[in-house]
Chain A
Amino acid sequence: MGSEFDSIREVPRQPIIEMSADTLHEVPAIHDTLPDGRETIVIGDVERCKEFNHLQGDNSLGFRGTCGLVSCEDVLRQFGVQVTEDDVVRHAAERGLCYVTDDPDHCGGTTVSDQAQILRDYGVPAHPEQLGSLERLSECVESGRGVIAEVNAGYLWNDANYVGSGEFNHAICVTGVARDPHTGEIQGFFINDSGRGYPEDSGRFVDADTMRMAWEEAQGMCVVTDLPNMER
């Protein structure tokens, strides 16, 4: 595996795939009911984005620590860029944009800088941003931007095995916001999570308290696309 990445290649400065301009579409907002029965307004293309999620590790290099890379794949596909996890993993590995070591189980990790660079490489301008609050996170999602959130897996999955030191240790895509239709209060978010392979982790509702614990308390770090998604 190491011999494939010994040489340093010149990285073209142009994006790999040019995106064409299109008419700006509004972010969908629909009345719905949360799993706990509360009335809500769901803002975001949650249903359409479900198909972009899958269990991480589906790549020819056998890398398993690819939550950040799969989140990049998710955002790229949301923006109409047709890529697979394998495409993104190989792109990252060839350019030193993910962690590579002898054990494929531990390979594929990315920094927020790596994630933003990968999106840019594929023609989707993006940047790391410490949003820091659920309200700012909502604003990004509601404005149609692609959002990768860095979270603590243990708090997100309610599993003590994966809390560690409480830092962020997992990446997910945020695809929608749930707001109380009467007060506008944030009730939670909808996410695509590649970590467990559960079908319900595609477009999964995470209540605000859990998101506060898993993301906001871990300093609220994200990768956000510079522009809204015009592919709807």
Chain B
Amino acid sequence: MTTQLLTYKEIRQRMQRHPIRQSEVPIEHEVSLPVPTLRCGQPAFGFFACSASRRPGQPTRLSPPDRWWAFRAQGGQLLGYNLSAVVPFAASPAWTDVEVPAPSPTVAGVRQLLADIEAMHEALAPEFFAGNAGDAESRAALVKMLRQFAPDPLLQQYRAMAPDFFAWLEK
């Protein structure tokens, strides 16, 4: 029997339509990209969300993540939803508010970057979940894209959500 996993795009759509998004996460919160991880004991995608301040003419300012959740990669079922104050997804992080510059000067540039990140995850997530090495160039390219999309200290939050995936990407 082969295991069929949801694609990266399908997981994003699942999250956007999920009751969590409708009833728990304020629409004004900034929701992370999904991150592949095995931290739940099975292939899963983790998300986190932060309250955000968006004032015209200024970069978005994000609070530290105040909630996180994970969906099963096979089937998309919710594995858990937690407020960080109750169950943090990282041990004692010293996160503070962060200003996030636009990853590209234009909206078209940001859309292209998001599309490239999605395409790269579509190729690499199955390799990661299967325990394969994956293409080294592709892994390096995805790291570079994620650094562009989420510069430090924001990228540290992604690393904390999926330390296993980032260790795999960067080996």
Contact = CB atoms under 8 A, between A and B. Distances in A.
A binds B: yes
A220 to B, nearest CB: 9
Interface in B1-58: 13, 16-17, 21-33, 51-56, 58
Interface stretch (B86-94, B97-105, B119-127): B97-105
A111 B24 contact: yes
Contacts of B23: 111-113
A136 interface: no
Interface stretch (B71-79, B108-116, B128-136, B159-167): B108-116
Contact of A160 (B17, B31, B102): B102
Given A153-B54, A160-B107, A98 B16 contact: no
B25 to A, nearest CB: 7
A165 interface: yes
Interface residues of A, number: 44
Contacts of A169: 27-31, 52, 54
Interface stretch (A4-12, A43-51, A60-68, A77-85): A60-68
A70 to B, nearest CB: 11
A154 interface: yes
A219 interface: yes
B156 interface: no
Nearest to A103: B63
Contact of B17 (A114, A130, A157, A195): A130
Nearest to A198: B56
A99 B26 contact: yes
Nearest to A101: B51
Contact of A68 (B26, B61, B104): B26
B60 A111 contact: no
B52 A106 contact: yes
A196 B56 contact: yes
A218 B16 CA distance: 8
B54 A195 contact: yes
Interface of B: 13, 16-17, 21-33, 51-56, 58-61, 63, 66, 97, 100-107, 109-111, 114
Interface of A: 64-65, 67-68, 98-99, 101, 103, 105-106, 108-114, 128, 130, 150, 153-155, 157-171, 195-197, 218-219, 221
